[in-house]
Amino acid sequence: MKAADLAKAGCAAVDSRQRSDRYVVVNGIRLHYVEAGTGPAVVLLHGFPEFWYSWRHQIPALAEAGFRVIALDLRGYNESEKPLGRRPYGIETLTDDVLGIIRAECGGRCAVVGHDWGGAIAWHLAMHHPKAVEKLVVLNAPHPYCFFRELKTLAQLRKSWYMLFFQLPRLPELLLRAGDFAWLSHVLRTDPVRPDAFTEADIACYKQALAQPGAMTAAINYYRALFRRNPFALRRQIRPIGAPTLLIWGERDRYLGLDLVKGLEPWVPNIRVERITEASHWVQMDAPERVNHLIIDFLRCSRARGEAADSSG
């Protein structure tokens, strides 16, 4: 089967009859998202180097559970606009994109679920725009306080070497595109615990998204923008998070150590941590049924508690 046919087959894993492709202009940029289901809104934020399709196992499950799912292509990815340069990819700008989606499409408040870079944006959103986040779910993305703390250790520095490599101009793009994105194929075939976490059709779909003009550089510019910020200024921006929070962590993450889930309570007092032993960084692909159950149960229970508190008040 040709690569284009494989990609088409992969993206069809989320039935096109049960989802809609939408476009919206917020924060001065045109963003694409996939929508499915009806009910309370849940915004899904993918990580590097993915796009909305990262949530292919969660979208139908959440929709069936009675939620309206909005799975975003973050700026620079897939069908969303790709501004030039590194400045448009600062964490505040990325957060404002999601805030714009929530205000435009979700009545100003909803549940937010983020993985990897999407998780980093979700943490920042819940800190600085608490009224917009009803509930927070983060998958294998460290809270910024823990990340800065662990970056001082040799163990985490070794795991984060690629972030330093991404600071080089042009070379990362050249190497990552080489051999028809051979690095991506290798990572998605060897990183997960479950051998079939990414099918050949899935990998073709990811390649097709990254091959779009400007997408590879945009994805790497997330890291370039982050590392050009004053770390002391970023640390000063850390605020406590009051929203009910669920942190799901695949323990066999090659890039993020287990110590990153420790010491969160002072910053996120209403947090529940669920560690999945047989899952990697790609936790929602390694353990989709477990992740779906955790997310749906958490969203339903926290909503019930919130409604009970409102009625008693």
Q: Which residues are catalytic?
A: 116, 223, 281
Query: Which of 64, 50, 20 lies closest to 198, judged by CA?
Result: 50
* 201/216 Cα distance (integer angstroms): 20
Residue 63 belongs to what H/E stretch? helix 58-64
Q: Cβ distance 3 to 207 under 8 Å? A: yes
Beta-carbon count within 10 A of 172 CB: 19
Query: Which of 294, 278, 223 lies closest to 65, judged by CA?
Result: 294
* 44/225 Cα distance (integer angstroms): 22
CB contact set of 152 (below 8 Å; sequence gap of 6+)? none
CB under 8 A, 24+ apart: contacts of 154-159: 155/257, 155/259, 156/256, 156/257, 156/259, 156/260, 159/254, 159/255, 159/256, 159/257
Q: Cβ distance 295 to 246 under 8 Å? A: yes
Residue 36 belongs to what H/E stretch? strand 29-36
Q: Cβ distance 265 to 222 under 8 Å? A: no
